[in-house]
Structure 1
Amino acid sequence: MSENFTAPEPPAAGSGATAPEGFAGRTALITGGGSGIGRAVALRLARAGAAVVVTGRDPRKLEKTAAEITAEGGRALAFAADVTSPDAVAASVRAAVDTFGGLHLAVNNAAVPGPKGITGEFPPEEFARVIATNLTGVFNCLHHELPAIVASGGGAVVNVGSILSVKVLPGSPAYTTAKHGMIGLTKTSALEYAPLGVRINAIGPGFVDTEFLVDFDDEAKRYFRDLHPAGRFGTPEEVAELTAFLLSDRASFAYGGFYPVDGGYAAA
């Protein structure tokens, strides 16, 4: 990268929050809503008028997100649920419908990173754990969300993949496999539910400045940052903007797509 290149500054958190997507009267369920991208999406949708249900494994984080929303005059419900449990996911969807009268939007964002290791040495139990959350968990969510969205009159879903949905990172076989698989699931379900009034798409964030980067040392952060031609990591708010667009009626002809939000990583 040229030494004279200066990366543009990311937008401030909450910028664009008054954009007229028309989410008033709609309910959104966001998995992994207690922090990072999920939290940013929840705040973004709530600020645009949606009632928001945030789910995840840590009730304290969920309650904090919900409290931020209600403090701004929005409507939110925190519901502890692990996406690896079909029963827990079903309960979270029922809670959304019972509390707010329906379900119209969903963002399947919950994910775990998994350890590093080449395929022949990767612990099988860790492979199964990552797949259970990052791929089977998305299926569990779609399985219960989609009938509820159809029953509510239709809507939209965004599955949060990764740049590793289309790129490969050696030493990360479970995460890469799960995120690649999510794209197939997104496309299949998009074709199935298009006639039923539900749009389903996926996004592919590059490396985003969230708690996923906590374990990276400075050298690793520099390495991964420089994979992005933008010259920096993304922000959760930038991912939330694309998510909000795809959920909105402004994206009414977008079905079964994969949309990178990656600072140019996939194009490099």
Structure 2
Amino acid sequence: MNLLNKVAVVTGAGSGIGRAISEKLASQGAFVYVTDITEASGQETVNIIKRNNGKAKYLPLDVRNPEQVEATFQKVANDTGKLDILINNAGIPGQPSSIEQIPNAEWTNLLDIHVNGSFYCLKCAVPYMKKNGSGRIINMSSLASETSLRGYGHYAAAKYALLGLTETAAKDLAPYGITVNALKPGVIRSALTSGILSMAEEELAKATPLGKIGSPSDVAAAAAFLCSDEASFITGATLIIDGGFRLVNEMDNAMDRFLSISNS
């Protein structure tokens, strides 16, 4: 998966999955623009990449601000003359609430970051990719868009919306050699999942067929593949990284209990 001389923009790259993807792309030879709303964490990602002999630069970015998004992509184009890869990763989980108790402001903020932010970045990236005659765009959805997630209606709605954006953009941009795909991480060890893992890590690992919690590097490896030439015929697709978690249901649990009794 050689990404030598590719230019990538990764949003929300200051920690977790965004940091891991940035490190992975840089390790494959890409010049990575690390964007994040928090300078300290974004710059730390850059420092990690540089310590490993990669190339990276931090740019401040609040994806909710379309003018700032446009200026950021113009900066990248001015610096490099091109853009090859966009990873729309910026996001927050929000506070767990039942549907009727979600504050309107929080609902709007989650959709603004996940959906509007991804749209603004995609819209600004496309003209530069068209000039190249190719490009790779990855939108970060979630397993919550497949199974829903009790208490996180705002988060699930945003992640469902990203799948519609992914599939429509894939059709629109295919004639220009631009692929658009989505990733659906399951339970991945990061700052976003630290709360639930502190209470239920053992239970969640046991419920995963592969028997463990995923890591940001697992998602980063999938992203690097979709950014590579080897994935040039994949577009409008969704890759699930969850260790098989989505496959387990209550019937499986009932069968486990039945087999345990039968074998005792």
TM-score, normalising length: structure 1: 0.89
**Of 228, 236, 261, the match for 2:216:** 236
Change (3 A) 1:75 1:57: same
Q: Is 1:213–2:165 an aligned residue pair?
A: no
How far does residue 181 in structure 1 lie from its aligned partner after superposition? 0.6
Q: Deviations over 1:231-253 (max 9, x none)?
A: 22110111000000011011111
- 1:24 corresponding residue in structure 2: 4
Instruction: Provide the secondary structure at the position in 1 that maps to 2:137.
Output: strand
Which ranges in structure 2 are unaligned for 5 or more consecutive residues? 249-264
- Inter-partner Cα distance in structure 2 for 1:148 and 1:60: 28
Describe how 1:32-181 pairs up with structure 2 within 5 A. Answer: 32-181=12-161
How far does residue 89 in structure 1 lie from its aligned partner after superposition? 1.2
How far does residue 47 in structure 1 lie from its aligned partner after superposition? 0.8
**Of 200, 205, 208, the match for 1:225:** 205
Deviates more, 1:30-39 or 1:63-72: 63-72
- Inter-partner Cα distance in structure 1 for 2:204 and 2:76: 38
Letter in 1 for 2:105: E
Q: Deviations over 1:189-243 (max 9, x none)?
A: 0000000110000010001111112333643334443442222211011100000
The number of equivalent residue pairs is 248
How far does residue 96 in structure 1 lie from its aligned partner after superposition? 1.6
Instruction: Provide the secondary structure at the position in 1 that maps to 2:247.
Output: coil
Please say if residues 37 and 236 of structure 1, whose CA atoms lie closer than 8 Å, have aligned partners that are also in contact: yes
- Inter-partner Cα distance in structure 1 for 2:197 and 2:184: 24
How far does residue 60 in structure 1 lie from its aligned partner after superposition? 0.7
- Inter-partner Cα distance in structure 1 for 2:4 and 2:197: 43
- 1:250 corresponding residue in structure 2: 230
How far does residue 71 in structure 1 lie from its aligned partner after superposition? 2.4
Instruction: Provide the secondary structure at the position in 2 that maps to 1:143.
Output: helix
CA RMSD of aligned residues (A): 1.3
Give the number of the structure whose alpha-carbon radius of gyration is greater.
Answer: 2
Change (3 A) 1:35 1:217: closer
Letter in 2 for 1:45: L
- Inter-partner Cα distance in structure 1 for 2:197 and 2:189: 14
- Inter-partner Cα distance in structure 1 for 2:192 and 2:155: 13
- 2:173 corresponding residue in structure 1: 193
Q: Deviations over 1:102-121 (max 9, x none)?
A: 10011110001001111112
Instruction: Provide the secondary structure at the position in 1 that maps to 2:244.
Output: coil
Q: Deviations over 1:61-89 (max 9, x none)?
A: 11111122222222211001011111111
TM-score, normalising length: structure 2: 0.90
Change (3 A) 1:217 1:230: closer
- Inter-partner Cα distance in structure 1 for 2:131 and 2:186: 34
Instruction: Provide the secondary structure at the position in 2 that maps to 1:216.
Output: helix
- 1:14 corresponding residue in structure 2: none
Letter in 2 for 1:209: R
Q: What percentage of residue pairs aligned between the two structures are identical? A: 33
Deviates more, 1:148-157 or 1:125-134: 148-157
Larger helix percent: 2
Letter in 1 for 2:236: G
Letter in 2 for 1:145: A
How far does residue 37 in structure 1 lie from its aligned partner after superposition? 0.6
Letter in 1 for 2:67: D
Letter in 2 for 1:187: E
- Inter-partner Cα distance in structure 2 for 1:90 and 1:66: 22
- Inter-partner Cα distance in structure 1 for 2:80 and 2:40: 22
